[in-house]
Structure 1
């Protein structure tokens, strides 16, 4: 469960056309979190594993959609994605971290994809040939 002092958003707007979840906090410019970013950083055990170093690089999620946002008590939301993934519970403190660290975490994801020779696009296979 999230810490009691985790900032709770004052608003969540699912913007399907632009594929973002808009997260608003009092007195701040809203954050726009792309669906793909939310999917690849899902807090689920399927993505993060059960301990350090057990995370699974998510590939081919460029076109993923969030179908539903469900409240979980007073401390989190559950996102249901159109690829069937629905086991991540986004506690308020983790959702805030996703907002604050969006740029750095997204670049880290892109770097890990490149290092793995993987793609964001589900229809693309990346091949590397040695000269």
Structure 2
């Protein structure tokens, strides 16, 4: 069964929060950062990836626009240019339900590769340590 449509969607720009309210009284606030790094886009979800692509440096991302897509979803246009994810009511339901687990795992993954919510690059030292020059043929 598909999740019901929210009765209200409010963007709180200064707090960088998207608030959804449903007819049954449920209300959930999503940070723009959380929605951005867990975008349902193919760009982040890929095909068959066990986890979405890791994106850092999005602490201060905001939502520039919310565009309705039929009666089943919205497209969130982020101020960093990302706009390819369709957030269906089922996606919002899943993101709300799994937020604590998702966020904890996201922070763990950032730490594993020395990325940050404030910067999205891996430290150069980590990359240099992993570099292996190509082998010349016959040598």
Into which bin does the TM-score normalised by the smaller protein fall? 0.7 to 0.9
TM-score for the superposition, normalised by structure 2: 0.82
Q: Give aligned pairs, total.
A: 126
CA contact (8 A) 1:43 1:89 kept: yes
Say whether residues 1:111 and 2:96 are aligned partners: no
Structure 2 gaps of 5+ residues are 127-139
Give distance in 2, aligned partners of 1:21 and 1:54.
Answer: 23
**Structure 2 counterpart of 1:13:** 10
Structure with the bigger RCO (C-alpha within 8 Å, sep 6+) is 1
Give distance in 1, aligned partners of 2:109 and 2:90.
Answer: 24
By how many angstroms is 1:28 displaced? 2.8
What's the CA shift string for 1:37-61, capped at 9, x where partnerless? 0000000011111223373101111
Structure 1 gaps of 5+ residues are none
What's the CA shift string for 1:13-41, capped at 9, x where partnerless? 00001100001112334111000000000
CA RMSD in angstroms, aligned pairs only? 2.1
Where does structure 1 differ by over 6 angstroms across 4 or more consecutive aligned residues? none
TM-score for the superposition, normalised by structure 1: 0.86
CA contact (8 A) 1:66 1:80 kept: yes
